[in-house]
Amino acid sequence: MSPELKVPLSVGTVLISIGIGGLVVWAAIREREASLRCTPGLVAKGPRCCGEGQRLLGDTCMDAPTDCPGNMQRISRAVRVGCVVPVERVEIAGGRLELGPSDWEAQGVVDARVIEVPAFAIDAYEVTAQR
């Protein structure tokens, strides 16, 4: 290869590589943002994720959804129509909780202690106004 072509070819190769790398990063960021934005079955509307068929009014999803995501159930009541999660509880095994001072300032001020925690059940999803 002649010396006159060596430098432009090297510069062109570097620029093409940078362009392709930038394109890959841009596509990956857009794909990640889209998948993190709303769970499957919800649609991004401004800053919110609304159900299919809903519209955004201010910062609230309005109107009855036509469909709900896979993990939710559509309810239809006289007062409200919408999607809710099923009532589900998760069993937590009991155990031993050992507590003590978490930093040097608490040494001598907070006594270490052991607490026996009995088994309990907790809601699998957050509690809402619907339930």
Instruction: Tell me which H or E stretch contains 50.
Output: strand 48-51
pLDDT reported for residue 70: 84
How far are the Cα atoms of 9, 10, 23, 78 from residue 36, in angstroms, in the given order? 41, 39, 20, 34
The answer to whether the beta carbons of residues 21 and 28 sit under 8 Å apart is no
Tell me, yes or no, if the pTM score tops 0.85. Answer: no
For the cut 90, the answer to whether the pLDDT of residue 32 exceeds it is: no
Under the banding of pLDDT at 50, 70 and 90, the label for residue 18 is: very high
Looking at residues 13-25, what average pLDDT do you find? 89
Both tokens of 8, joined, read: 């432009």
The answer to whether the beta carbons of residues 83 and 52 sit under 8 Å apart is no
Q: Name the least confident of 52-61, 71-80, 90-99, 114-123.
A: 71-80
What is the C-alpha separation between 56 and 49, in angstroms, rounded? Answer: 9
Instruction: Tell me which H or E stretch contains 90.
Output: strand 89-92
Please give the backbone phi and psi of residue 106, each rounded to the nearest 5 degrees, phi first: -90, -10
Domain residue limits, the chain = 1-37, 39-84, 89-123
